[in-house]
Amino acid sequence: MASYIEPKILKGFRDFLPPAEITRRDLLEKIEASFRSFGFLPIDTPALEYAEILLGKGGGETEKQIYRFKDNGDRDVALRFDLTVPFARFIAQYRGELTLPFKRYHIAKVWRGENTQRGRYREFTQCDFDIVGSDSPAADFEILLMMRNTLKALGVDVSIRLNHRGLFNHFLNKLGVAEKSVEILRTVDKLAKIGQDETRKLLAEIAGEEAAEKILQYIGSHGNFEETLAAITDLSGGESPESQRLKILRKYMLDSGTEGSFELDPSITRGLDYYTGIVYETFLKDDPAIGSVCSGGRYDNLAGLYSKPSSATEALTGVGSSIGLDRLIAALESLGKLASRNGYADVIIACIKEEDAGAYQTLAGKFREAGIPCEVLLDAAGSIEGKKLTQQFVLAEKKGARWIIIPGADALKDPLTLRELKTRQNREGLTLENIIDHVS
Amino acid sequence: MASYIEPKILKGFRDFLPPAEITRRDLLEKIEASFRSFGFLPIDTPALEYAEILLGKGGGETEKQIYRFKDNGDRDVALRFDLTVPFARFIAQYRGELTLPFKRYHIAKVWRGENTQRGRYREFTQCDFDIVGSDSPAADFEILLMMRNTLKALGVDVSIRLNHRGLFNHFLNKLGVAEKSVEILRTVDKLAKIGQDETRKLLAEIAGEEAAEKILQYIGSHGNFEETLAAITDLSGGESPESQRLKILRKYMLDSGTEGSFELDPSITRGLDYYTGIVYETFLKDDPAIGSVCSGGRYDNLAGLYSKPSSATEALTGVGSSIGLDRLIAALESLGKLASRNGYADVIIACIKEEDAGAYQTLAGKFREAGIPCEVLLDAAGSIEGKKLTQQFVLAEKKGARWIIIPGADALKDPLTLRELKTRQNREGLTLENIIDHVS
């Protein structure tokens, strides 16, 4: 070979070797099974879209982070940086073909040229799920319940902290600072990061010291769900459709026996502009400091930007959430709850004679037909003559198998030996049926 | 909303609405289950890599088709256009961490700015599987068997047409045209497309008329596997390690009772340079005209370009294959073998009172725990009062469910009604356990 190119990947991007990729796929399968168990349907959209579509109204941070370029046809294109914007475009484009309310999930990679410090990646996987076309509190609750059940299925106990943007806006309105709500919401959103004192200072700059103090009081602790609801209902000017909705959601939680997973937390605001109803973040009970692993909220008009202003179609309201797979994996890892395995095959067939490879595959085929993954060792080191059986045992264990089968001289007729790798116990004189029963 | 952006996607790219995406995921799950049943392990690599890595030695067609650009850090980057080149880089980079022989699969999207005529896409999914680090014919056979079994699992009967590049090279050598083998191989590869006469003409231009005639004779029909093997062994100068390997592969096929799926076809060459051993293409018995849905071969030194010439590591030989998901779907569709369904939930719970959404989710939870996906209707049209139960039946059928459950006034205590949507039969007075038994 004349030339040599150093094998390396871009900063912020990752290769996944089998153990890590198996872990990812195991998690994704559980997540997807949970989504499907609620009757949610998958969609997919292109990784590459018109930059105009993805950037929409534009936005400072997004514009800086997006991978944007001219394609060979001189089109201005970009890699998707989230799954929400493509979904908004999708909803506008196929509205007539979708059955509403539309419950969809989308699990896919997104790309952002972010600063790679602080464990951020430039390529990462998001798992989004939304219900579009229903304003019902039952839809809000379904998304909340899916968050809880999906994370429970992964073995983590979560606390979902919930708030209502509309109620907070009533409060700001009463306070006379409604026109500054966007800035105030963004500042409150940083509370956990920057602390109470810095938040007070920033809020005072925006809304004055007196308002700042009242906002801090509103977003502070008020006790349990009912007490907090009573307090913020009062602070926001009394009963309203928004406080009613929180009351209904509380009833749903109690009726389904899931109330232990939810908190009403008036400091949750989410930074993003498009949320108008409930908003929520999810923290691991065993390690809340790692931050939210699943967040979202209700929005009024997701597809508005892509819907003809002239058309008579009404705005599509919806509610959704997103699991950040990479942060979740980091969290599970730090909690020691990340199951890992080296392979899928519990059963491995040793190679005695290379010329019998066809017969070994026939044996293996019986396991595969019974739903048991089964690997055939090929020759283990290029030359079977030089490979002792004990080395095949070591190899099989390294691959994560529990059993190795040692065929007889006539692989298809002779009795078989089954060795349990962990205990090093051999059981001889077995039929294939014996073994399939034993390992099933 | 002040502005409006027309919702559209780039030419050659596709959105997948739920029915199409469910079909894709169903197929991919079967493919992946088949790969895993052989003990193959998944890996993943970045969508975006250094252009230098992906382009390697360069290549006219690839260079024209690749999505290449400068990122925000002025790095020369590109989207992967196949999964083979990233795998070569991967193997070189992690060689020390991998257990050889390394059996891996990689299912992922790739991007090529191809001409979108003739049903070609610019974003498509490949399913690659390879064994690296074994020169054994048992490895060749395992890949061939996986091709067969995986496609069988998808409900299609295939004929895998096999050839040996080395044997063909012996023949060209004997013919005295070895130095033109690359051009000759590429020309023969086009036989099915351009026909015998055009092939003869092109071959004559490359190697002279007499050689052209002999090549056409070599790549022509010689009868069954054994007859063909005898003929091309003879034409290539007698027994050789390459003819021996084909003989061993034939034994494996017979020993495993899979010989009906394989043909020896001397006209199969594969256009790509890196194949050195067996090569193969897969045709559907019911529709061979659609072309190969799964192809590959054996290569000598996949990671050579990315391996330090100074290092003492030996070349890594391997054998692999790739299923083109999009062509496969087109094939299944044209054969009417593409199963489709509208959703995952067989059971749907009707919404009688919106305030009971928590109780409905509790009912649904029992099905989900039993492994039965179950959807809860939220309100069906924004207002449950306006929504007759019959409309919910229609909606449930549209979603692809088999059953709808009609709760009583007290959703958790009253007996339930189970309606089979297709037969419109109601069964009343049931307990939840009755229903779970019935639909399981």
Q: Residue B31 and residue B365: Cα distance in Å, rounded?
A: 30
Assess B274–A contact: CB distance below 8 Å, yes or no.
Answer: no
Assess B134–A contact: CB distance below 8 Å, yes or no.
Answer: yes
> B294 and B362: one domain?
no
Inside any domain, residue B164 = no
* Cβ-contact A69, A38 below 8 angstroms: no
Across chain B, mean pLDDT equals: 92
Are A37 and B142 in contact (CB < 8 Å)? no
Are A356 and B255 in contact (CB < 8 Å)? yes
Is residue A272 over pLDDT 90?
no
The average pLDDT across B67-89 equals 95
The average pLDDT across B168-194 equals 91
- pLDDT at res. A385: 46
Question: Residue B375: in which H helix or E strand, if any?
Answer: strand B374-376
Distances (CA, A) of A244 to A33, A89, A233, A417, B343: 33, 32, 9, 68, 33
> A39 and A147: one domain?
yes
Total domains in chain A come to 3
Across chain A, mean pLDDT equals: 92
- pLDDT at res. B198: 93
Assess B87–A contact: CB distance below 8 Å, yes or no.
Answer: no
> A34 and A138: one domain?
yes
Of B16, B37, B70, B105, which to mutate for an interface test with A (greatest number of A Cβ within 10 Å)?
Answer: B37
A334 in helix, strand or coil?
helix
Task: Pick the closest to residue B154 from B320, B293, B39 (CA basis).
Answer: B293
- For residue A26, give the chain B residue with the closest CA: B42
> A419 and A316: one domain?
no
Task: Pick the closest to residue A259 from A269, A272, A249, A267 (CA basis).
Answer: A249
Q: How far is A200 from chain B (nearest CA, A)?
A: 33
- pLDDT at res. B316: 86
Q: Residue A80 and residue A10: Cα distance in Å, rounded?
A: 18
Inside any domain, residue A66 = no
- pLDDT at res. A225: 97
- pLDDT at res. A1: 43
Q: Which residue has the higher pLDDT, A106 or A383?
A: A106
> A213 and A250: one domain?
yes
Is residue A96 over pLDDT 80?
yes
Q: How far is A179 from chain B (nearest CA, A)?
A: 18
Assess B121–A contact: CB distance below 8 Å, yes or no.
Answer: no
- Which residue in B17, B301, B306 is closest to A43 by CB distance? B17
Is residue A193 over pLDDT 60?
yes
> B241 and B176: one domain?
yes
Q: Residue B266 and residue B163: Cα distance in Å, rounded?
A: 5
ipTM of the modeled complex: 0.94
Task: Pick the closest to residue A19 from B141, B331, B98 (CA basis).
Answer: B98
- Which residue in B14, B97, B362 is closest to A257 by CB distance? B362
Q: How confident is the model at residue A311 (pLDDT cuts 50, 70, 90)?
A: low
Q: How far is A333 from chain B (nearest CA, A)?
A: 19
Chain B partners within 8 Å of A360 (Cβ): 138
pLDDT tens column, A412-434:
899 999 999 999 999 999 999 99
- pLDDT at res. A316: 86
- pLDDT at res. B380: 53
- pLDDT at res. B384: 43
Inside any domain, residue A64 = no
Is residue A386 over pLDDT 70?
no
Task: Pick the closest to residue A360 from B256, B33, B41 (CA basis).
Answer: B256
Inside any domain, residue A52 = no
Task: Pick the closest to residue B23 from B325, B291, B324 (CA basis).
Answer: B325
- pLDDT at res. A59: 62
Chain A partners within 8 Å of B53 (Cβ): 5, 7-8
- pLDDT at res. B374: 97
Are A359 and B69 in contact (CB < 8 Å)? no
Residue A356 corresponds to which tokens in the numbers above? 């019998």
- pLDDT at res. B114: 79
Q: How far is B215 from chain A (nearest CA, A)?
A: 30
CATH of the domain at B359: 3.40.50.800
Assess B62–A contact: CB distance below 8 Å, yes or no.
Answer: no
Q: How confident is the model at residue A202 (pLDDT cuts 50, 70, 90)?
A: very high
3-state SS string for B299-342: ECCCCHHHCCCCCCCCCCCEEEEEEEHHHHHHHHHHCCCCCCCC
> A117 and A248: one domain?
no
> A108 and A164: one domain?
no
Assess A47–B contact: CB distance below 8 Å, yes or no.
Answer: yes
Q: Where are the alpha helices (DSSP H) in B108-263?
A: 137-153, 165-175, 181-189, 191-207, 209-219, 225-235, 241-255
- Which residue in A343, A358, A374 is closest to B254 by CB distance? A358
Inside any domain, residue B421 = yes
* Cβ-contact A140, A278 below 8 angstroms: yes
Q: How far is CA A243 from the centre of its chain?
A: 30
Are B5 and A309 in contact (CB < 8 Å)? no
**Parent domain of B135:** 10-157+285-341
Chain A partners within 8 Å of B138 (Cβ): 351, 354, 357, 360, 376, 378-379
Inside any domain, residue A139 = yes
- Which residue in A4, A141, A355 is closest to B251 by CB distance? A355
Q: How confident is the model at residue A291 (pLDDT cuts 50, 70, 90)?
A: confident
8-state DSSP, B381: S
> B329 and B353: one domain?
no
The one-letter amino acid at A116: T
**Looking at chain A from residue 174 to 233, which residues have their Cβ under 8 Å from any Cβ of chain B?**
none
- Which residue in B48, B64, B351 is closest to A10 by CB distance? B48
> B35 and B139: one domain?
yes
> A218 and A270: one domain?
yes
Assess B46–A contact: CB distance below 8 Å, yes or no.
Answer: yes
* Cβ-contact A8, A309 below 8 angstroms: no
- pLDDT at res. B4: 87
Dihedral sign for Cα atoms in the order B86, B87, B91, B97? positive
Assess A75–B contact: CB distance below 8 Å, yes or no.
Answer: yes
Is residue B381 over pLDDT 60?
no
Chain A partners within 8 Å of B99 (Cβ): 395, 398-399
Inside any domain, residue A73 = no
> B200 and B328: one domain?
no
Q: Residue B291 and residue B268: Cα distance in Å, rounded?
A: 12
Of A11, A25, A37, which to mutate for an interface test with B (greatest number of B Cβ within 10 Å)?
Answer: A37
The average pLDDT across B191-198 equals 89
Q: Residue B355 and residue B226: Cα distance in Å, rounded?
A: 74
Dihedral sign for Cα atoms in the order B308, B309, B314, B315? positive
Distances (CA, A) of A191 to A194, A200, A327, A361: 5, 9, 20, 61
Is residue B386 over pLDDT 70?
no
Is residue A164 over pLDDT 80?
yes
pLDDT tens column, B202-250:
999 999 999 999 999 999 999 999 999 999 999 999 999 999 999 999 9
Residue A54 corresponds to which tokens in the numbers above? 């993805």
Choose one of B341, B366, B385: the last residue of a domain.
B341
Chain A partners within 8 Å of B131 (Cβ): 378
Q: How confident is the model at residue B259 (pLDDT cuts 50, 70, 90)?
A: very high
Are A305 and B4 in contact (CB < 8 Å)? yes
- For residue A101, give the chain B residue with the closest CA: B380
The neighbouring-strand residues paired with B282 are B160
- pLDDT at res. B118: 65
Chain B partners within 8 Å of A379 (Cβ): 101, 134, 136, 138-139
CA atoms within a 13 Å half-sphere pointing along the CA-CB vector of A254: 9
Distances (CA, A) of B113 to A60, B50, B60: 30, 18, 13
CATH of the domain at A103: 3.30.930.10
Pairing of strands B275-284, B158-164: antiparallel
Q: Residue A334 and residue A287: Cα distance in Å, rounded?
A: 9
Q: Which residue has the tokens 């003929």?
A: B231
The length of chain B in residues reads 440
Q: How far is A437 from chain B (nearest CA, A)?
A: 17
The overall pTM is greater than 0.90: yes
- Give the number of other CB atoms < 10 A from CB of residue B245: 20
Of A8-17, A345-354, B332-341, B368-377, which gets the smallest average pLDDT?
Answer: B332-341
Q: Which residue has the higher pLDDT, B257 or A118?
A: B257
Inside any domain, residue A78 = no
- pLDDT at res. B300: 86
pLDDT tens column, A215-230:
999 999 999 999 999 9
The average pLDDT across B94-106 equals 94
- For residue A244, give the chain B residue with the closest CA: B355
